[in-house]
């Protein structure tokens, strides 16, 4: 038997060799005999139903585009050609997004894995490539599903190193995916939205700390943080304690209350040895903020003798349709529910920032966080139309994403720079440490019984980071 990865070729005798990052299948002569008995497919057919119930062999590469079904039914979603992109990430809402969605469906194939293959979720990271695939095809409710006979040649996607981002000041954002610490004293589990046990919480915290430490940022907006005050038993205080046990570097912005009364809130962490806060933080708890979008948190900072700059942490209303009515319903344009609220949130935020809520007098403003809107949706385009700059526009050769939903990659997390700050952007990166990983990659059963502490799948969102040169535009 032989198998091949991107980096090396080794002899394999098992179905999956996760540590070597390769998967092996039957001998080549056996695969050739099976190919003789199977219908060969080199491109996605316009009508899969003609192959329903038959054995097929796909000779074109298939890209693993989503693994959200891996733990549920041992399958992944693969795509002919490139991986699937969220429609409104690459096309305008409306007919363009609808055409992109149709194209995605035409290139998609559910691949049911052989027995045992799903036990190694790390191997099925999105972006991996199946060079060929053979099995029996079934069409269920219009969806083609290939029951894979063997995994012959899989090139697993590599895990990228943490980005090294240049700049005088580095700003980052990370959705923490519901960091709740119980009562802060070891009890209070399961929590309302986060960890179910103390062990789950400790493992989640360790992964988040590994992520934040690797980013080497000066100011970090954190989202989906438990809204439980700022005392020593609060989630934000214990996150900073875990990140900096000696208390020499990291601090958090204390807004006094909230911001907002939503169970989750935004927060700001900063390196006190690199930047200093100026004045008091400011929050906005009016209009769409509070009951729907989470209240934003703004704080002015200065690095050394450089100019003051303002960082605003944000988390707009999600796309879910619960309690949606009237204009908040899905309008069928690809932007899902509550787009009206997200758009109103952006308008209110820009109007508020124009009043200089921090009192710093600075027009160097960064709006960062999870806007729950892809790149070409109204809330993001409204910022661009108002003269703001997309700080992540040059990342990943245009194929930017921070989130994978329904096997489609797109960018919900943004760094939007005010007109004055946009020209001071020096560097930017998205660290794909989370979104491509299968959710159950953090399950001890998939890690030889160990609770994983590495950064992988610390959240369902990828962290973003930008570097700024503030002293000279």
CA distances from 271 to 28, 244, 245 (A): 56, 10, 13
pLDDT at 429: 98
Q: CB of 436 within 8 A of CB of 442?
A: no
Give residue 12's pLDDT: 33
Q: Are 398 and 375 in contact (CB under 8 A)?
A: no
- Provide the whole-model pTM: 0.92
- Percent with pLDDT over 90 in the chain: 86
The average pLDDT across 256-281 equals 97
The answer to whether the beta carbons of residues 120 and 446 sit under 8 Å apart is yes
Query: Residue 6 above 80 pLDDT?
Result: no
Tokens at 70, concatenated:
């891996």
State how far the Cα of 6 lies from the Cα of 283, in Å rounded to an integer: 48
Which H or E run includes 336? Answer: none
Percent of the chain at pLDDT above 70?
92
**Average pLDDT, stretch 45-65?**
96
Strand (E) or helix (H) holding 317: none
Place of tokens 């194939």: 109
**Residue 88 pLDDT > 60:** yes
Domain range summary for the chain, segments of one domain joined by +: 3-155, 169-468
Rounded to 5°, angle at Cα 105 from 104 and 111: 105
Closest CA to 55 of 40, 43, 74, 73: 40
Residue 63 phi, psi dihedral angles, 5° rounding = -95, 130
- H/E run at residue 215: helix 198-215
Answer yes or no: is pLDDT of 461 > 90: yes
SS3 category, 176:
strand
411, 402 Cβ separation under 8 angstroms? yes
Q: What's the pLDDT at 7?
A: 34
The token duo for 467 is 């570097």
Residue 198's φ and ψ, nearest 5 degrees, are -55, -40
Outline where 323-460 has alpha helix (H).
339-353, 378-385, 419-422
| Residue 11, pLDDT score | 31
What average pLDDT does range 67-96 have in this prediction?
97
Band (447; pLDDT cuts 50, 70, 90): confident
Token digits of residue 214:
């690797």
pLDDT of 217 above 80: yes
More confident residue, 150 or 416: 416
pLDDT band at 119 (very low <50, low <70, confident <90, very high): confident
On whether the CB atoms of residues 424 and 138 are closer than 8 A, the answer is no
Tokens linked to 113: 């894995």
Least confident range of 335-339, 378-382, 408-412, 449-453: 449-453
Dump pLDDT digits (tens) for 176-198.
999 999 999 999 999 999 999 99
Say if strands 365-370 and 309-315 run parallel, antiparallel, or are unpaired. parallel
Q: What residues contact residue 473 under an 8 Å CB cut-off, 6+ apart?
A: 423, 424
DSSP string, 78-142: EEESSPPB-HHHHS-TTHHHHHHHHHHHHHEEEEEPPTTGGG-GGGG-TT-EES-EEEEEEEETT
Confidence of residue 446 (pLDDT cuts 50, 70, 90): confident
Contact between 129 and 155 (Cβ < 8 Å): yes
pLDDT at 9: 33
| DSSP element (H, E) containing 182 | none
Provide the pLDDT for residue 1. Answer: 35
The pLDDT, as a whole number, for residue 473 is 54
Assess contact for 38 and 56: CB atoms under 8 A.
yes
pLDDT tens across 269-298, in order?
999 999 999 999 999 999 999 889 999 999
Give CB contacts under 8 A, 24+ apart, made by 352-359. Answer: 352/284, 352/296, 353/298, 353/310, 353/312, 353/418, 357/282, 357/284, 357/298, 358/278, 358/279, 358/280, 358/281, 358/282, 358/298, 358/299, 358/300, 358/310, 359/279, 359/280, 359/282, 359/300
Mean pLDDT over 127-140 rounds to: 96
The CATH number of the structural domain formed by 169-468 is 3.60.10.10
The overall average pLDDT reported for the chain is 91
Name the β-bridge partners of 428. 466
Q: Is the pLDDT of residue 341 over 80?
A: yes
> Using one digit for the tens of pLDDT, what is the confidence trace for 346-404?
999 999 999 999 999 999 999 999 999 999 999 999 999 999 999 999 999 989 999 99
Three-class DSSP category at 15: coil
Say which residue, 16 or 344, is predicted with more confidence: 344
pLDDT at 62: 97
Residue pair 293/281 in contact (Cβ under 8 Å)? The answer is no
Q: What is the mean pLDDT of residues 394-423?
A: 97
Instruction: pLDDT band for 17, please (50, 70, 90 cuts).
Output: very low
Of 316 and 24, the structure prediction assigns the larger pLDDT to 316
pLDDT above 90: residue 10: no
Question: Which band of pLDDT confidence, cut at 50, 70 and 90, is reported for residue 39?
Answer: very high
Residue 144 reports pLDDT greater than 80: yes
């Amino acid at each position: 038997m032989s198998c091949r990865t991107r980096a090396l070729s080794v002899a394999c005798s098992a179905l999956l060799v996760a540590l070597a990052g390769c998967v092996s299948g039957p001998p080549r002569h056996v695969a050739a005999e099976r190919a003789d008995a199977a219908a060969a497919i080199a491109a996605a057919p316009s009508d899969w139903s003609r192959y329903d119930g038959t054995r097929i062999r796909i000779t074109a590469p298939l890209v693993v585009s989503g693994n959200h079904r891996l733990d549920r039914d041992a399958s992944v979603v693969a795509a002919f050609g490139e991986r699937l992109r969220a429609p409104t990430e690459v096309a305008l809402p409306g007919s363009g997004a609808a055409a992109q969605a149709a194209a995605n469906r035409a290139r998609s194939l559910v691949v049911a894995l052989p027995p045992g293959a799903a036990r190694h979720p790390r191997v099925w990271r999105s972006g991996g490539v199946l060079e060929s695939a053979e099995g029996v095809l079934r069409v269920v409710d219009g969806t083609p599903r290939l029951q894979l006979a063997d995994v012959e040649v899989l090139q697993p996607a590599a895990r990228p190193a943490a980005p090294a981002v240049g700049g005088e000041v580095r700003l980052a954002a990370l959705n923490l995916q519901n960091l709740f610490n119980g009562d802060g004293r070891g009890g209070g589990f399961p929590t309302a939205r986060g960890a179910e046990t103390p062990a789950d919480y400790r493992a989640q915290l360790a992964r988040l700390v590994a992520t934040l430490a690797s980013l080497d940022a000066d100011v970090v907006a954190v989202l989906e943080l438990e809204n439980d005050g700022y005392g020593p038993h609060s989630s934000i205080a214990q996150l900073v304690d875990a990140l900096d046990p000696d208390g020499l570097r990291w601090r958090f912005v204390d807004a006094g209350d909230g911001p907002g009364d939503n169970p989750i809130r935004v927060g700001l962490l900063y390196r006190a040895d690199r930047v200093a806060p100026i004045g008091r933080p400011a929050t906005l708890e009016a209009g769409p903020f509070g009951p729907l979008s989470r209240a934003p948190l703004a704080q002015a900072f200065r690095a050394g003798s450089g100019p003051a700059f303002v960082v605003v942490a944000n988390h707009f209303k999600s796309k879910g349709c619960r309690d949606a009515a009237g204009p908040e319903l899905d309008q069928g344009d690809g932007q899902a529910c509550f787009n009206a609220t997200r758009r109103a949130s952006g308008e209110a935020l820009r109007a508020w920032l124009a009043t200089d809520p921090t009192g710093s007098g600075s027009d160097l403003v960064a709006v960062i966080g999870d806007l729950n809107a892809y790149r070409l949706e109204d809330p993001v385009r409204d910022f661009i139309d108002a003269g703001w700059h997309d700080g992540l526009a040059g990342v990943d050769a245009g194929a930017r994403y921070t989130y994978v939903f329904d096997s489609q990659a797109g960018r919900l997390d943004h760094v939007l720079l005010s007109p004055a700050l946009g020209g001071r952007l020096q560097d930017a990166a998205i660290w794909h440490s989370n979104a491509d990983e299968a959710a159950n990659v953090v399950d001890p059963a998939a890690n030889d019984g160990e609770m994983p502490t590495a950064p992988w799948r610390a959240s369902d969102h990828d962290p973003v980071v930008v570097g700024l040169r503030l002293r000279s535009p």
